[in-house]
């Protein structure tokens, strides 16, 4: 290569290096700000109609849900009352006689004949006690 071309090439290379250095320096100094992007989603007419229907349904169901909540509270109170009543009945049943208790009473209980015999014996004793002893 001859000298003028060589010098020209060296000059271009030097300029390219300087340009690259300046570009690197600019890139380091440059601070990019975030770009705010707003996406707007547009609904179709069918989607708008469906959304409107859903909103209406929610609006009409809100009072029903409120009533159901009240009903649930009422049911809870009734169940608590039933539990208390069952507990009272359970206590009463514990104090009641069982079949075995009644069977034992039947076997040890006096009959009418037994009572009549006791009455006759009592009358005899009273008669004897009322008699005056002899002289």
CA gap 89, 83 in Å, rounded: 10
CB 77 within 8 A of CB 85: no
Q: Tell me: the pLDDT tens digits for 89-133? A: 877 877 777 788 778 877 788 888 888 999 999 999 988 888 876
pLDDT at residue 40, as a whole number: 78
Please, which pLDDT band fits residue 134 given cuts at 50, 70 and 90?
Answer: low
pLDDT at residue 95, as a whole number: 76
Question: Can you tell me whether residue 110 is helix, strand or coil?
Answer: coil
69 Rama sector, left if φ>0, alpha if ψ -120 to 50, beta otherwise: alpha
Query: How much is the pTM?
Result: 0.33
CA gap 120, 114 in Å, rounded: 10
The DSSP annotation for 20-59 comes to HHHHHHHHHH--PPPPP----PPPPHHHHHHHHHHHHHHH
Q: Tell me: the pLDDT tens digits for 10-65? A: 999 999 999 999 988 888 777 677 778 887 778 788 888 998 888 888 877 777 78
């Amino acid at each position: 290569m001859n000298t003028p071309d060589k010098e020209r090439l060296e000059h271009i290379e030097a300029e390219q290096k300087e340009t690259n250095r300046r570009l690197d320096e600019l890139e380091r100094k440059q601070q990019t700000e975030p770009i705010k992007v707003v996406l707007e989603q547009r609904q179709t007419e069918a989607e708008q109609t469906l959304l409107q229907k859903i909103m209406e349904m929610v609006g009409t169901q809100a009072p029903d849900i409120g009533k159901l909540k009240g009903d649930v509270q009422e049911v809870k109170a009734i169940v608590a009352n039933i539990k208390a009543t069952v507990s009272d009945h359970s206590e009463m049943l514990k104090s009641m006689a069982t079949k075995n208790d009644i069977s034992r009473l039947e076997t040890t209980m006096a009959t009418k004949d037994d009572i009549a015999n006791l009455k006759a014996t009592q009358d005899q004793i009273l008669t004897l006690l009322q008699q005056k002893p002899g002289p």
